[in-house]
Amino acid sequence: MIKVNGREVLDPMKNKWVSQKVEKLKPSPIRKVFNKVAQLKSQGIEVIDFSIGRPFFDTPSTIKEETKRALDKGMVHYTGSTGILELRNAIVQRILIDKGVKYNPDEIIVTIGGTEGMFVAIQTLLSPGDEIIVPDPMYVYYKGWINYAGAECIPLPLKEEDFSLDIEELNKKINSSTKMILLNSPHNPTGSVLSRQNLEEIAKLSKKYDLFILSDEIYQRITYDNCEALSIASFPQMKERTVISDSFSKTYAMDGWRIGYLAAPREIINQIAKLHQHIISCSNTFAQIGAITALNQSQQCVEDIIAEFTRRRELMINYLREMKLPFVTPKGAFYVFPSIKEFSISSEEFANYLLEEARVAVVPGNAFGNSGEGYIRISFSPPYKEIESGLQRMEKAIRKLKKIKLIYDYLSKTKV
Ligand code: PLP
């Protein structure tokens, strides 16, 4: 974009053929870290990558085997656009168990992961001028998806002490343009989980002001210390004003399979289905077979993944405590979001310093919105041994940074 007479217009030299809508989309800042890591690795430099937002496990073999059989049987053609009925039935059963809400298979769309699901839901529900309130920090793509619909993303800063949602602040953000609230619990990047009380209060407000909820529940089953992540759709009269987005990416280590789903009341899902059909026709057929296997088999594989995440989380939080980096213990997902405010540098500078000095990659908190400034996101998904050596390297680099800061503070004081 360039400015002409104070107005932002397309740069005619650079972007002659590109629509304004797409030009305004920003690439994910996480991809920026990913590219830097790839560049270092290509130079033979070993980097420990804590910026990863995927499970560091293989997809369970039962799922892979059944999918291979589906390919051999010739399941290589289109399915109905909302997905194979057997899969939608299995999703209905799973939602009933995990979220306590009863859907019909015609209230489900099988999507290309949470990404496509959230995108089509947002484009279907929001119009230019509408406002949607989103807890800040927030997942990197939310704002871009909302702005693409022409709507306004209204950030709601989470409480610093525990990253919980402040109901009074939420209430203050609601006005006549507010149409929706976006929830993401367990939360990326902080690992916080919305409490029952919080959800009850949000439900009350959404009914009082007639607001719709988009609930991103991609990490719902990954929680710790007996914490339960509830779905807002399970609260009285909330199913009819909620669309749930969920995915196989995290729970079954199927992020590369690109498969997920939306659940919403029939009249809403029918509208979303039109856009979904225009964009993708249908989800990948043999990946849908894998997803059926994932849901219908014993769920021991999920328990195993969560048990291993629990072990890695323990290691991470013990180290962070030793490093004396302030953090809120994550109750869900596989990220921790420590504060680096004491160093008086930006989260981007801090992340760059860790990459240079310790060869450890983390995501700067500002990638997740203004409220993320002063924090870094560390994923505890990598293998145990890698977490251990990455944290040792981080600890050394942070000790060095603390010393530099002490000297700097001393020098600036003596100058005065
Ligand atoms: N929502 C959140 C909060 C996420 O963290 C992610 C991925 O990291 C997604 C949605 C999209 O995931 P996928 O498209 O792989 O299902």
- In this prediction, what percent of the chain has a pLDDT beyond 90? 86
The atom number, within ligand 1, closest to the CA of 184 reads 3
Write the DSSP string, 290-331. HHHHHHHS-THHHHHHHHHHHHHHHHHHHHHHHHT---PPPS
Please say whether the beta carbons of 51 and 34 come within 8 A. Answer: yes
170 contacts: CB under 8 Å, gap ≥ 6: 133, 156, 181, 202, 205
Ligand 1, pocket residues at CB < 6 Å: 53, 113-115, 118, 139, 184, 188, 216, 218, 247, 249, 255, 260
Please say whether the beta carbons of 108 and 264 come within 8 A. Answer: no
Write the DSSP string, 54-120. S-SSPPPHHHHHHHHHHHHTT--S---TT--HHHHHHHHHHHHHHH-----GGGEEEESHHHHHHHH
Residue nearest to atom 10 of ligand 1 (CA): 114
Q: Taking residues 389-403, report their average pLDDT.
A: 93
Distances (CA, A) of 50 to 132, 222, 225, 321: 31, 18, 23, 17
Residue 187 Cα, ligand 1 centroid: separation in angstroms?
11
Please say whether the beta carbons of 101 and 95 come within 8 A. Answer: yes
Confidence of residue 3 (pLDDT cuts 50, 70, 90): low
Q: What is the pLDDT of residues 297-306, one digit of tens each?
A: 999 999 999 9
Residue 216 Cα, ligand 1 centroid: separation in angstroms?
8
Residue 139 Cα, ligand 1 centroid: separation in angstroms?
8
Q: What is the pLDDT of residues 123-141, one digit of tens each?
A: 999 999 999 999 999 999 9
Residue 114 Cα, ligand 1 centroid: separation in angstroms?
5
The SS3 of residue 227 is coil
Helix (H) or strand (E) holding 3: strand 2-4
Residue 413 to residue 404: CA distance in whole angstroms: 14
Q: Taking residues 213-241, report their average pLDDT.
A: 97
- In this prediction, what percent of the chain has a pLDDT beyond 70? 97
Residue 67 to residue 288: CA distance in whole angstroms: 8
Does residue 318 surpass a pLDDT of 80? yes
The overall average pLDDT reported for the chain is: 94
pTM of the full predicted structure? 0.93
Among 33, 139, 279, 283, which is best to mutate for testing ligand 1, by the most ligand atoms less than 8 A from CB? 139
Does residue 13 surpass a pLDDT of 70? no
The atom number, within ligand 1, closest to the CA of 114 reads 16
Does residue 416 surpass a pLDDT of 60? no
The atom number, within ligand 1, closest to the CA of 247 reads 16
Q: DSSP H helical segments within 126-192, as ranges?
A: 142-148, 167-173
Residue nearest to atom 7 of ligand 1 (CA): 53
pLDDT for 33 equals: 87
pLDDT for 1 equals: 59
Residue 410 Cα, ligand 1 centroid: separation in angstroms?
45
Does residue 90 surpass a pLDDT of 90? yes
Does residue 415 surpass a pLDDT of 70? no
Among 116, 185, 218, 284, which is best to mutate for testing ligand 1, by the most ligand atoms less than 8 A from CB? 218
Peptide bond into 137 cis (omega under 30): yes
Q: What is the pLDDT of residues 161-213, one digit of tens each?
A: 999 999 999 999 999 999 999 999 999 999 999 999 999 999 999 999 999 99
Residue 11 Cα, ligand 1 centroid: separation in angstroms?
32
The atom number, within ligand 1, closest to the CA of 188 reads 3
Residue 322 Cα, ligand 1 centroid: separation in angstroms?
31
